[in-house]
Amino acid sequence: MLKSFVSTPVSFPHIEKTNLLGLNRQELESFFSDLGEKPFRATQVMKWIHQLNVNDFAQMSNISKALQQRLIETASVDALEVVTDQLSSDGTRKWAFRMADGNCIETVYIPEDDRGTLCISSQVGCALDCSFCSTARQGFSRNLSSAEILAQVWLATRLLNEEQPTAKLSIERKITNLVLMGMGEPLLNYENVVKAIDVFLDDFAYGLSKRRVTVSTAGVVPAMDRLSERHDVQLAISLHATRDDLRNELVPVNKKYPLKELIAACHRFMEKRSPRSRLTIEYVMLAGVNDSEQDAKELIKLMQGLSVLINLIPFNPFENSGYKTSSNNAVRRFQDHLMKANITTVIRKTRGDDIDAACGQLVGKVEDKSRREKRFINPRFGMNS
């Protein structure tokens, strides 16, 4: 079923409406100050939008009728259009959302006993070209705006609450954790991502603890340094290989920021963190490629002096990927090696694979501006896909 949460068409076509969904508190305060209003209007409206999930200014009852009318004329809370809504047998839910320009992105909700994690996209497609990732095959179109990043959380909140009608002024918080692990490389869309994080952490909006927001990066070193100055959120590094030759192939951004620089950046990032915090290392398990005992030993060496949690991700296959998932035994052996070296290592449970919602399976609908789909050749097997 096609549902639309895009607000009603602009009734004053000469006025460009401001989408309040994408503004952090500071920006909302200047928006209201431009209207000649007091700054506290910003926190009032933030609560309505992000805590109570309201997009209709006429419902914002602690705001005067006159100001409601001005907001109706000058502003909007524009979310995205729901194209598909799929539920996996394990409870994972995946949506495809369409944006105004026709591109689609995917967002995944993963319920667990003690938390609900929303995996959000930061770009339409991805420019990084990791050889084992199906998002990469789609090519790259553009960065998401902060409004489009926040709209995923706003809309998922609404869709998750539709199942259980709630009292008017209380929205059940089913989303307790946010991970920027959907389509795209968040640190290549730095400004919009950090602005969205402002809102995730703001007590007048989602009010999430910094431990519950994770940015996952393939290793864009300068942006890791910038992020550490701005937000104390969790960082996950998609490492996947311990030697430059192999990492150049799996994660080509390694040619620009090789392992030595990446690991040094990880140390810098962690120096600014509390001693109890840990960096997450993501390591996709590819049979015969990076899953040997030697690889485990090299990983242990590389992690020396860093406080890390290693996440082993069984490779999620897709058509013509050219890779195979490591056997359960190989994954467990790899984990044992790391655990013996006192490195906490968990095997990431594959969720939602029956609806292609697992890591690296998000594809959306991307108007590819990099023409990658046409030129893609698997570097390992030389196949055209």
Decide: is 22 part of the binding site for ligand SAH (CB under 6 A).
no
Q: How far is the CB of 360 from ligand SAH (least distance, A)?
A: 2
Axis-axis angle for helices 190-201, 221-230 (nearest 10): 30
Q: Is 73 a catalytic residue?
A: no
Decide: is 284 part of the binding site for ligand SAH (CB under 6 A).
yes
Using the minimum distance from each CB to ligand SAH, give the nearer residue, 75 or 281: 281
Taking the C-alpha atoms of residue 339 and residue 117, their distance in angstroms, rounded to an integer, is 26
Q: How far is the CB of 313 from ligand SAH (least distance, A)?
A: 4
Q: How far is the CB of 228 from ligand SAH (least distance, A)?
A: 16
Taking the C-alpha atoms of residue 357 and residue 111, their distance in angstroms, rounded to an integer, is 13
Q: Which stretch binds ligand SAH (CB under 6 A): 14-22, 69-77, 215-223, 329-337?
A: 215-223
At a CB cut-off of 8 Å and minimum separation 6, what does 255 contact? 248
Using the minimum distance from each CB to ligand SAH, give the nearer residue, 78 or 185: 185
Decide: is 18 part of the binding site for ligand SAH (CB under 6 A).
no
Binding mask 102-131 for ligand SAH (x = CB under 6 A): ----------------------------x-
Task: Return the CA Rg of the chain.
Answer: 22
What is the residue-wise DSSP string for 337-353? Answer: HHHHTT-EEEEPPP-SG
**Beta carbons of 194 and 146 less than 8 angstroms apart:** no
Decide: is 201 part of the binding site for ligand SAH (CB under 6 A).
no
H or E element at residue 309: strand 308-314
Within the chain, residue ranges assigned H as helices are 25-34, 40-46, 65-74, 134-137, 146-162, 190-201, 221-230, 244-250, 259-271, 293-302, 328-340, 372-375
Distance spanning both ends of the chain, measured CA to CA: 32
Map tokens 């009032």 to a residue: 44
Using the minimum distance from each CB to ligand SAH, give the nearer residue, 24 or 134: 134
Q: Is 126 a catalytic residue?
A: no
CB atoms within 10 A of CB 333: 15
Among 282, 291, 295, 356, binds ligand SAH (CB under 6 A): 282
**Beta carbons of 369 and 140 less than 8 angstroms apart:** yes
Taking the C-alpha atoms of residue 347 and residue 70, their distance in angstroms, rounded to an integer, is 52
Binding mask 244-263 for ligand SAH (x = CB under 6 A): --------------------
Among 124, 208, 218, 312, binds ligand SAH (CB under 6 A): 218
Among 24, 92, 103, 238, binds ligand SAH (CB under 6 A): 238
At a CB cut-off of 8 Å and minimum separation 6, what does 361 contact? 134, 316, 318, 353
Decide: is 281 part of the binding site for ligand SAH (CB under 6 A).
no
Taking the C-alpha atoms of residue 294 and residue 297, their distance in angstroms, rounded to an integer, is 5
Using the minimum distance from each CB to ligand SAH, give the nearer residue, 78 or 295: 295
Q: How far is the CB of 176 from ligand SAH (least distance, A)?
A: 19
How many residues of this chain bind ligand SAH (CB under 6 A)?
16
Q: Which of 106, 148, 185, 249 is flagged as catalytic?
A: 106
Using the minimum distance from each CB to ligand SAH, give the nearer residue, 133 or 147: 133
C-beta nearest to ligand SAH: residue: 360
Decide: is 149 part of the binding site for ligand SAH (CB under 6 A).
no
**Beta carbons of 105 and 94 less than 8 angstroms apart:** no
Residue 199 token pair: 């809102």
Decide: is 217 part of the binding site for ligand SAH (CB under 6 A).
yes
Among 37, 78, 148, 185, binds ligand SAH (CB under 6 A): 185
CB atoms within 10 A of CB 190: 18
Q: Which of 126, 130, 266, 359 is flagged as catalytic?
A: 359
Q: How far is the CB of 359 from ligand SAH (least distance, A)?
A: 3
For residues 295-354, which are near ligand SAH according to CB under 6 A?
313, 315-316
Chain contacts with ligand SAH (rule: CB under 6 A): 130, 132-133, 181, 185, 216-218, 238, 282, 284, 313, 315-316, 359-360
Catalytic residues: 106, 359
